[in-house]
Structure 1
């Protein structure tokens, strides 16, 4: 080999060596960085796993965003939604899937949590995110302003309240919601009802830290204690389609399913009974009264819900015999769970009159009523008024009727009753900071707005009879097992 060839080979070897020394260590460093970043993401998700599962709101909205950016396949979203009806199980499976994706899912998850109103979780995972350009881009792309009273405002929600109170350079908002200001009822909207599979906004430790006035332990002197686990017991009677001559109550199963989910998420043990005859209703109600009396030391509340046909002071079993609301339902609980709240929710007609705009307005309606046909012709109907003088004082009770005395109650065959669906929506979104009385106001206002929007339908006004001695907050998500 000539000297020239030796020089060339030496230069080639030197170039190769330099090339390897330059690129190979960088590749190793990049790989190590990728691995390190994966570890950090997994560590943060694992560390905050409990909070993600039990305080994340709008998990469906989170999954929708993750699907839209390609993090979760549609098939996985569908499997999670259908296979896990319990919200906590659904979120647990979502976190398990995201952990398998490592860093590729971490940043999109933070964006999804932000858009779904989980600012407290965003700060746990990335405390600098709310000050980043990414957040500003998301605001511009996804947060559309809402016009209220002629002014453009940011949507009123938990996440917006938290941003209002941050001592940072984040842009300020003019329409801050105050928990203690009654005007926030006027700007909270509930027309878009929660769907099947909805999630109740819980009163989490992060929210209590953000709003100390919501701490249930600090307002026990003026509020009912609502911290037991379970919170209490709920009896739900749903009479639907076994009536002899009365029409099928189409849509009532939708009401019952969502009511069951609502009160289970709040913390109640729900006992669901369907299509009961007269004697069964009597026995079930009496047995439930005995149950809550037995459990009075370990639960803080009882809820009794009845969905059925009704008349003036009556509720019908599926064999079309009538229970007297005062005698057979409410008075049964006079001496039970004394000193603790008992809430009755009754979806049924209380007469045959329609609250119409005009005589012709009912002709084109798409609603069905929970009234019987030709009420006065039936021998088992109490066509008179309430005999309240025969009923003992109903201490610590609240009775919530779907309509006022003598009037019908309307129900959609497809979507359920407008009263129950509105009630569920209001509870799911505001029970974490509203008491029962304020939620009643929200339901009344929302129902009025809904009926005014459809000129072809009659009106319906719920009736709330209150014998409570304290404010009633449900405190969803809070519990104290040390009694």
Structure 2
């Protein structure tokens, strides 16, 4: 499908997911050769109507240059004129000419065109039958294909009400002996995330200014709870951080007493071995903390890549005053972490910054990472999966500069096995 038509689908995805009537539409798209029987089966196997609509729209983008026009035609044939008009309005001046009922039309199913081959919508509605590279009209009725498609993967079940538990640990005031500064602006982050995850139908608990031992006890208590009625669990930690030795998940976060807990140990509390009621369910960790003491000055880009930065001169970091390297750890710390960590399936850890680097925070408006995480979740949770939204966060944060010089690059360690779509009220 041409890029301009993909953009139209993405721009209107919220309405499509909410309003598409698939009862007749799937059959029409099957008959016209847009989808195979196997793809229709995959769509119908999705648990909710929204999941079915979301998968149909996503798969449509892969179905060749004629798929968009055939989709418009199919909307008209199934009486969904409201959505048809909505899509047409996105391309001003384009008139959709329906194909006569007696005329057989099948789309050209092929890889996406190069930009040099772009066509207008008037040109992609074929006037007469064309030879195509996809399945023939007879083939689409032969039943499920034997091959397994990569994009047929089902999303995680996320329809429990409430969806799950969310624990936020917000460390702001640190003890004088820790030599760690007050994290001004962290309460702004905490308030944003508490409201956001309540809106996503989570039960949110906030704990403030915890020492290392208390962080561990709260995580242990969370792991001992019965999660059988829930579909997901979220842990958010806002604190100072540092770089530590690891064999799977880098970094550590500090308690207010100046003693740290490694991210590796944090995730370990909720893995399938230590929390059986979360086995096979997504466990999501958001870490707003420094990954070390190094500051990134970025690299020069072309003028068209450059965008105005919004970071201020007063931005602060969540790094410890003296960077702690992996060489400073004892062998016993390293061995203990390795001995108790099983395979981390169904876990995603999202970091505010690249391991080894500082993470920037505005004392008045909160951290860059949380600001954009909250914004992206608000605007895209109804239509996009978590991994895609985190990539959007990466892009937005990368555009900022602190003091006109320093950059920040978030990232994640993703061990999820499926797409994850949050619940929304839309």
Task: Sort the TM-score into its range (normalised by shorter chain).
Answer: 0.5 to 0.7
> How far apart are the structure 2 equivalents of 1:373 and 1:175?
60
Runs of 4+ in 1 over 6 A off after TM superposition: 117-121, 377-388
1:343 and 1:397 in contact (8 A); partners too: yes
Indicate the residue corresponding to 2:204 in structure 1: 270
Q: What is the deviation of 1:350?
A: 1.0
Q: What is the deviation of 1:356?
A: 1.2
Task: Please list the CA deviations of residues 437-461 of structure 1 after superposition, one character each: whole Å capped at 9, or x if unmatched.
Answer: 110111111112233xx77131110
Indicate the residue corresponding to 2:11 in structure 1: none
Aligned residues: 272
1:427 aligns with 2:377: yes
CA gap of 1:437–1:385, structure 2 versus 1, over 3 A, is farther
Q: What is the deviation of 1:476?
A: 1.2
Indicate the residue corresponding to 2:237 in structure 1: 306
Larger helix percent: 1
Task: Please list the CA deviations of residues 77-105 of structure 1 after superposition, one character each: whole Å capped at 9, or x if unmatched.
Answer: xxxxxxxxxxxxxxxxxxxxxxxxxxxxx
> How far apart are the structure 1 equivalents of 2:17 and 2:279?
39
Match of 2:91 among 170, 173, 178: 173
> How far apart are the structure 2 equivalents of 1:239 and 1:274?
6
1:311 and 1:382 in contact (8 A); partners too: no
1:376 and 1:383 in contact (8 A); partners too: no
> How far apart are the structure 1 equivalents of 2:173 and 2:364?
15
Match of 1:460 among 398, 405, 408: 408
Match of 1:349 among 274, 284, 290: 290
Q: Secondary structure at the match of 1:399?
A: strand
Unaligned runs of 5+ in 2: 1-13, 19-79, 95-111, 113-150, 244-250, 300-311
2:17 and 2:383 in contact (8 A); partners too: no
Q: Secondary structure at the match of 2:165?
A: strand
Q: What is the deviation of 1:173?
A: 3.0
Task: Please list the CA deviations of residues 385-427 of structure 1 after superposition, one character each: whole Å capped at 9, or x if unmatched.
Answer: 9888553210100000111111111100000000011000000
> How far apart are the structure 2 equivalents of 1:464 and 1:119?
30
1:278 and 1:323 in contact (8 A); partners too: yes
Task: Please list the CA deviations of residues 41-98 of structure 1 after superposition, one character each: whole Å capped at 9, or x if unmatched.
Answer: xxxxxxxxxxxxxxxxxxxxxxxxxxxxxxxxxxxxxxxxxxxxxxxxxxxxxxxxxx
Indicate the residue corresponding to 1:246 in structure 2: 180
> How far apart are the structure 1 equivalents of 2:323 and 2:252?
11
> How far apart are the structure 2 equivalents of 1:430 and 1:175?
28
Higher deviation after alignment, 240-249 or 258-267: 240-249
Unaligned runs of 5+ in 1: 1-116, 122-161, 177-181, 183-218, 359-363, 479-483
CA gap of 1:439–1:386, structure 2 versus 1, over 3 A, is farther
1:368 aligns with 2:351: no
> How far apart are the structure 1 equivalents of 2:315 and 2:331?
24
CA gap of 1:425–1:393, structure 2 versus 1, over 3 A, is same
Indicate the residue corresponding to 2:270 in structure 1: 333
CA gap of 1:168–1:356, structure 2 versus 1, over 3 A, is closer
Indicate the residue corresponding to 1:400 in structure 2: 350
CA gap of 1:395–1:379, structure 2 versus 1, over 3 A, is closer
Calculate the aligned-residue CA RMSD, in Å: 3.9
TM normalised by structure 1 equals 0.51
> Which aligned pairs between 1:21-60 and structure 2 lie closer than 5 A?
none
Q: What is the deviation of 1:477?
A: 2.6
> How far apart are the structure 1 equivalents of 2:383 and 2:82?
17
Indicate the residue corresponding to 1:73 in structure 2: none
